[in-house]
A and B are shown apart, each in its own frame.
Chain A
Amino acid sequence: MHYTSVSLPSSIIGMLLLTLLLKLGWIKPAWVKGIADFLVKTLPFYFVPAGVAVMLYFDLIASSLWPIVVASAVSTVIVLVVTGWTHQFIRNRSKKTRDTLKSTEL
């Protein structure tokens, strides 16, 4: 049942709500710390079943193996470089602005 047009997965909405409520102080970190730390620490275990289900799709994957491998590998390199360059560029720029501000103050 969808009450809104948002297609965000319910668990992500839950995660953002939890962060917001912690930030607002309506939920105290101490109340959720135990269970949350346990769930985060054991998180990888919960997606083993989803991974095992890949055996149902072996034929489909075999028929598109190259698109899957090439697209994922090339795109991963692109993500690394785009994120790195953008972050480095903004940091260098804001540093330069700060330096110029400092020198004009002097």
Chain B
Amino acid sequence: MNGIFQNEVVVVAFTFIIYFLAQKLQAKTGFILLNPILITIIIIIAFLMIFNIDYESYHQGSKYIDFLLKPAVVALGVPLYRQLEVIRKQALAIVISQLAGCIAGIVSVVLIAKLMGASREIIFSLAPKSVTTPIAIEISRSIGGIAPLTASVVIVVGIFGAVFGYSILKLTGVKNPISQSLSMGNAAHAIGTSKSMEISAGFGAMSSIGLIVNGIFTAVLAPYVLKLMGIWIVF
């Protein structure tokens, strides 16, 4: 089995087929826990473990998929450009609330993880946890976290936010629908955005602004927030 999985085409095709089927499954059931990425990752890991294939041989082929991650993040510039007008109109409210959410997110996750005794690399992996997965992976790599851990945590956080986000917001007195959808994008990135999308396209658009603005803020600020916190805390 290791042999077949050293063939790049087999790995790419295999990954794609699983992902394609997982997407179909969610489209059919509409069940949020059946997140296609999560399902694909779980199935591939289970497959590799059952057939005793080591990660390295899978990686020989999967690096060709990974290679497209950076260009795809660059491509996010196009949806960002399309939203610029909306962002400009409500610039003050969006920028300040996203900034507050971004910093609160980094500081709280780092503090709690530290208090509970997590190691430095785990703390750094959690710092970008509210950001959309591709950006979070890039941030994690650049600040010295474990990118695969970041990716898994981000997906689980997104599902958690999508399931409980709107109830938490209502319970805590956030009643304005624009504020709600913006927070969903900020805290639960793309998965929270697809939840908002179910309510309306307008909610979805607002969430997608939250997700992209928080991505940029976290990428820019995370290294500095961690450095500042490092003055008081020994990671």
Residues of A within 8 A of B (CB): 7-12, 14-19, 22-23, 29, 32-33, 35-37, 39-40, 42-57, 60-61, 64, 66-68, 70-88, 90-92, 94
Given contacts A68-B113, A83-B179, A88-B179, 8 further A-B contacts (CB under 8 A): A19-B77, A19-B78, A39-B68, A40-B76, A57-B149, A76-B129, A83-B98, A94-B92
A85 to B137, CA, bound (A): 28
**Given A48-B62, A52-B45, does the pair A80, B68 have CB atoms closer than 8 Å?**
no
Which residues does chain B contribute within 8 Å of A92, judged by CB atoms? 176
Within 8 A of A (CB), among B57-102: 58-59, 62-63, 65-66, 68-81, 84, 92-94, 96-98, 100-102
Q: How far apart are the CA atoms of A45 and B37 in the complex, in Å? A: 7
Instruction: Determine whether the beta carbon of B59 is less than 8 Å from that of A49.
Output: yes
Question: Which residues does chain B contribute within 8 Å of A46, judged by CB atoms?
Answer: 65-66, 68-69, 72, 134
Taking chain A's interface residues, is the majority helix, strand, or loop, or is none over half, making it mixed?
Answer: helix
Query: Do A9 and B130 form a contact, CB below 8 Å, given A18-B77, A37-B78?
Result: no
Q: How far is the CA of A17 from the CA of B98 in the complex (A)?
A: 21
Minimum C-beta distance from B96 to chain A (A): 6
B interface SS class: helix
Given A14-B74, A15-B77, A37-B78, answer yes or no on A9-B219 (Cβ-Cβ < 8 Å): yes
4 shortest interchain CB distances as A-B pairs:
A18-B77, A83-B101, A84-B174, A87-B97
When the two chains form their complex, are residues B133 and A44 in contact, meaning their CB atoms are under 8 A apart? yes
- Say whether, besides A19-B81, A36-B78, A83-B210, A12 and B129 are in contact (CB < 8 Å): no
B58 to A74, Cβ gap below 8 A?
Answer: no
Contact, CB under 8 Å: B135 / A12: yes
B84 to chain A, nearest CB (A): 6
Q: Please give the distance in Å from A80's CB to the nearest CB on chain B.
A: 4
Q: Could you tell me the distance between the alpha carbons of A10 and B152 in the complex, rounded to whole angstroms? A: 22
Question: Within 8 Å of chain A (Cβ to Cβ): is B197?
Answer: no
What's the Cα separation between A55 and B165 when bound, in Å?
29
Cα–Cα distance between A59 and B55 once the two chains are bound (Å): 15
Please determine whether B179 and A8 come into contact, CB atoms closer than 8 angstroms.
Answer: no
In the bound complex, CA of A71 to CA of B133 (Å)? 18
Residues of A within 8 A of B190 (CB): 44
The answer to whether residues A88 and B176 also contact, given A49-B62, A51-B155 and a CB cut-off of 8 A, is: yes
Chain A residues whose C-beta falls within 8 Å of the C-beta of B77 in the assembled complex: 14-19, 22, 36
A51 CB, nearest partner CB in chain B, Å: 4
Q: In this assembly, does B202 line the interface, its C-beta being within 8 Å of a C-beta of chain A?
A: no
- Do B178 and A87 touch (CB < 8 A)? yes
A68 to B48, CA, bound (A): 25
**Chain A hits for B215, CB < 8 A:** 12
Q: Is B157 located at the chain interface by the 8 A CB criterion?
A: yes
- In the docked arrangement, what's the CA distance between A92 and B175, Å? 11
Say if the beta carbon of B205 comes within 8 Å of chain A: no
The closest CB in chain B to the CB of A91 belongs to B93
Q: Could you give 20 example pairs across A and B, Cβ below 8 Å?
A: A11-B70, A11-B135, A11-B138, A18-B74, A19-B81, A36-B78, A42-B72, A43-B76, A47-B37, A51-B40, A52-B148, A64-B118, A64-B122, A72-B157, A77-B168, A78-B105, A80-B161, A84-B169, A87-B96, A87-B178
